[in-house]
Homo-oligomer: A and B are copies of this chain.
Amino acid sequence: MGRRSDHSRAELAEMILAEGHRQMAEVGFARFSAREVAKRIGYSIGTLYNVFGTLDRLILAINSRTFALWSEALRARLAAAEGVDRIRALVEGYFAFARENSNLWMAIYDHRLPAGMEMPEEEDRLRGGLTEIVAAEVAAALPEHRREAAPRLARSLVATVHGHCAFALNGSFALMGEGEPVELALARVREALAAAAQ
């Protein structure tokens, strides 16, 4: 075969992904360039396309990695919040990751699948993973006789916090004169949990 020295196919894919992820973090979705990624790892643009097939699949893989890191960050926050306010830890962790990785976080929502291409299974699983973390905490925050409401409520609370986080990062809240988006989101989450509890 024509493989170059010591890079297996999987290792090459990993190189591209790692450099792509780095690039996305640095310049963001709008300025992301596959050619630039290829240049930085010392391969030609053609090789990149041979490995990932299309730009959309590469971006999908990059966003998957971001999702994995995000879930990991949330789990770490929760582990460190043993006993204390776990709901607050969750909401603050959500915002903290988005703020500290704004380009990566926004790229998740900047990217749209082209018509006719559906989400690969692994991506789907990863995104569901984050919701499951929230669902588990929501369930724990509810009295036992209300636990069946947890999955649907979790979806809604993720959307609620997402909305506040998106407005915080894109400047909408700043334009409206809002300075404490995290507290605002947390208040909404608390109300919803309290309402679901009884």
Contacts and interface: CB of A to CB of B under 8 A. Distances in A.
Given A110-B110, A159-B167, A166-B163, A131 B176 contact: yes
A192 interface: yes
A157 to B, nearest CB: 8
Interface residues of A, number: 40
Contacts of A173: 155, 159
Interface in A157-181: 158-164, 166-167, 170-173, 175-176, 178, 181
Contacts of A192: 188, 191
Interface in A105-134: 106, 109-110, 112-113, 119, 124, 127-128, 131
A47 interface: no
B187 A156 contact: yes
Name which of A155, A158, A161, A178 has the most chain B CB atoms within 10 A of its CB.
A155
A1 interface: no
A188 B175 contact: no
A146 to B, nearest CB: 14
Interface of A: 28, 30, 106, 109-110, 112-113, 119, 124, 127-128, 131, 152, 155-156, 158-164, 166-167, 170-173, 175-176, 178, 181, 184-185, 187-188, 191-192, 194-195
27 contacts: A109-B166, A109-B170, A112-B170, A119-B175, A127-B172, A127-B175, A128-B175, A131-B176, A152-B178, A152-B184, A155-B178, A155-B184, A156-B164, A156-B185, A156-B188, A158-B167, A159-B163, A159-B164, A159-B172, A159-B185, A160-B164, A162-B167, A163-B163, A163-B164, A188-B188, A191-B195, A194-B195
B156 A184 contact: yes
Contacts of A163: 159-164, 166
